[in-house]
Structure 1
Amino acid sequence: MVSVLSACGDLGALGMGKIVHEYIDRNKVEIAVKLGTSLVDMYAKYGDIENSLKVFNGMGVKDVLTWSAVIIRRANHGFGEHALDDLAKIISGGIKANDITFIGVLSACSHVGVVDRGWTYFTSMNDKYGVTPKIEHYGCMVDLLGRMAHLREARELIRNMPFAPDAIVWRTFISACKIHKNMELVEEANVNLLELEPHMDGNYVLLSNMYAQGKKWDDVVNVRRRMRDKTFIRFWE
């Protein structure tokens, strides 16, 4: 049942997932931690928070993955404050938060727009909770800072990461620069992104659109020329 529900979640087959849930109830299949977590995550993944919480509240035992599933999905569906409240419930319940939990917590901070709380959670991960931040956590912080127009702060965080930023981090930063119309930082970021993904047409389109937005038509032409050249090279490769 866990495997079937996971497949339903991945395929977006919420209707089939509900049929599976009905089968579980009808046949009195015990909803233990793993099965309950799968149901919670499947419902919440597609915005059915009501059914997700119904399963969650009916579970006798919940582990950190169950709580993390609720936190992440609440954060992604506009219930960021509730997601942050859940962290306090985890701690008071004696459950040790893990790296997945903090992806949800930092995502919630990003959606709510609370920079100070985001920094507090991020900086306390290692010291207070014994969780070493991974690139996903840095990406969440870049997203939070970028959303709130703290672009220089986000850029400094990227520079000080203990590992090389990946394309997702750069793309997140570029999107924030685009929203806040900071051409200087987006050009610098795009250079790094193009080094990681030189044959991704979307990266050139993003930069071209930024130049067009700033009415830098010569730069638009140059980017489109580079894009054509890369396409030609890829064709022959």
Structure 2
Amino acid sequence: MKTAHLRIGTKLALAFTIQIALLAATAAYGLNRMDLMQANLDEITRVNQREAALASAMQMALAERMVALRNAVLLSKDNDISAEIRQIDLADKAYSTEQAALKNMLAESSASEDELQALRDADNAASASETLIEDIISAAQQHASSKATTLIVTQLAPIQARWNAALSRLAQIQTQQNEMVVAASKEAATHARLMLGALAGLSVLGGILLAWAITRSIARPISVLLGSVMSDAARWRSEDASLPGKGLGP
């Protein structure tokens, strides 16, 4: 595009428009990177951390349930056994509450297949333990501690191990996802610094080039015009000097 024929005001307007466009591009890119990092932070704090906390709470409820179950088997007084059974029920309700919340979060956050499989494994273990736990509680109420202990050691313990492992795996997945998000955020921040630096440098360089080009486009015509005026003035003086009577005294 030739700009020599443009007016000075038009050239200045064009230069400022280009500079503003570069600044707008820099600002837009910076805001976009900030939004991306904020989204990553939200994923960590509102999704992954919450899911990990729910999985840990389920593990805690499971542990409390099993401790109360063992206590019920070991105790001999009916009142003490009943108190432990109530603790089992409370832990079971807490587990169900955390489980429902976790399932809702996984459904809303498009959970990975690994997360869903870990939750299914935990659910399968929970289902497999229901009847067994009822039998152990019944044996404890009948003071059949030997039978209850055998059920715990030979049947419930392996199920509990699988159950706890599934919940641990679920929490570990959240930790791994956090690490991936943090790594992605660091990469985005590094890329943003490079791009913003490049855009800033381009803006400065563009400003310098535009200033030079506009100054040159303005100064050259003025220089040519001034040279023409000086040449005409010299020619006129020469012509005046060559006329008869010019330069002579009275």
Q: TM-score band, normalised by the shorter chain?
A: under 0.3
TM-score by length of 2: 0.21
Relative contact order higher in (CA < 8 Å, ≥ 6 apart): 2
Q: Which structure carries more helix by proportion?
A: 2
Larger Rg: 2
TM-score by length of 1: 0.22
